[in-house]
Every structure is written in C-alpha cells, then in structure tokens.
Amino acid sequence: MALESLTMIRHGESATNAASARAELDGSELFGSGTRDPDVPLTDLGRAQAAAVGTWLAGQPERAWTVWCSPYSRARETAAIALGAVGSPRVRIDERLRDREIGNLHGLTDLGWRRRYPEEFALRERLGRFYYRPPGGESWVDVALRLRALLDELDGHVLAFAHDIVVVMTRYVLEGLDEAAILEIERGKIRNGSISRWERSDTGLIPAGYNETAHLG
C-alpha cells in the first residue's frame, strides 16, 4: 500500500521557543533552563495551539489515520492534546521524527554562538546552513537521510507530529527540491501548531497546504 496522504503538525510553542525569543530580544548569549531538549514542555500558548489543532482534526473528513510522533515531550504533548478531539488513536513513536540535534550549540543564541564558538560560526558561514554539522549535532542533510528511511515505510493516510526542520526537510524529500530551493522556502519559518499536507495525485504526492495557521485564529 502506498502513502496516500501525509499531514504534518509542528508542536505547539515550547518553553524553549519562548525562552529563545526572549533571549534574542534581550541580546543574551544563552537561553533555556538546563532542561534536556527531549524533555522541554509546552507553554500555556503551546497547549492552546495543540487544542486548536484538535478542533481542526475533528472537522476533517473521516480517515483511517496512522499516527506517528517524535519522542520529544513537546511533540508528544501536542499529539495527546490534539488527538483527544478525535478519540485518542494509537500513536507510534519514532525517533526519526525527532528535532535536529544541535550538539554543543544547544541553548545558545546567534550572539552566544559567535562569541563562544567563533570558528564554528565561521565554518557554518563558509559551508552554508544546509551542510554544516555542529559539534555533536546534525546537519540538515542528516535529517533528510533519516526522513528518507521513515517515509519509505509509511502507507495509507498518515498524521505526524514533529518539529520545524522535520517539516521543512520532508518537503525537500517529497518534492525533490535542491539546496537553494529549500533554503528559500525555510525563510518563511514554520510556525508552532502549523499544519502542512501532501496528497496523492496521478503524478505522486503533491503539496496540499504548507505552514497553515488559519485554525489557530
């Protein structure tokens, strides 16, 4: 059986998302509270966004969804809240949907990165964001490789709860894009609680919506 449709949802706002935004505005080098990235919870806003996703799901035509989710807390919490509106179907947790690992740069703003790891910052500028791999972390290409393996296993109608870079690189893989195209697309940041969709046509899976946020109000 082939993949008939894929609906990907970025998790709601997390505590790290909120802390990062505040740190950038304040000109700080660091953000976060020392919590492991996999354990970061949703904020109150993030939980409200997850509930809005649930309302959207409840209004969709009935489908035999197969639900997949990143193992990270913010994605699992989003899934639990949203799926409560449609009977809480079984969720398959798969580490290939996890967020990109940033390694030594976790918890640093761009300012902190430039000041504390100037050689790495210069290396990223030279290689570009697509191919650069931070110490102990992953490049965008690494994310694409694990997604290719996962996408080959999916069939039917799939609903997936994941992270911004996972949504971006899923588009890269499914639509056969190149580095320049996906870097341009990524400039429009994937919003928390947004929905991106692909549907099967005579020519294969085609985009049916990307980074949609109307359901968030």
* pLDDT 10s digits, 130-173: 999 999 999 999 999 999 999 999 999 999 999 999 999 999 99
Q: Running DSSP on this structure, what letter comes out for residue 132?
A: -
Segment (H or E) for 161: strand 156-162
Q: What is the pTM of this model?
A: 0.95
CB atoms under 10 Å from CB of 194, counted, come to: 24
pLDDT of residue 13: 98
Provide the sign of the torsion angle of the four alpha carbons 138, 53, 41, 96, taken in this order: negative
Q: Which two tokens stand for residue 128?
A: 């570009």
58 pLDDT more than 70: yes
| Residue-level pLDDT at 1 | 66
Q: Chain-centre distance of CA 148, in angstroms?
A: 15
Confidence of residue 31 (pLDDT cuts 50, 70, 90): confident
CATH topology of domain 3-216: Rossmann fold (3.40.50)
Q: How many angstroms separate the CA atoms of 116 and 62, rounded?
A: 51
C-alpha distances out from residue 44 to 21, 23, 158, Å = 16, 19, 27
pLDDT digits (tens, 9 = 90+) for 60-72: 988 899 999 999 9
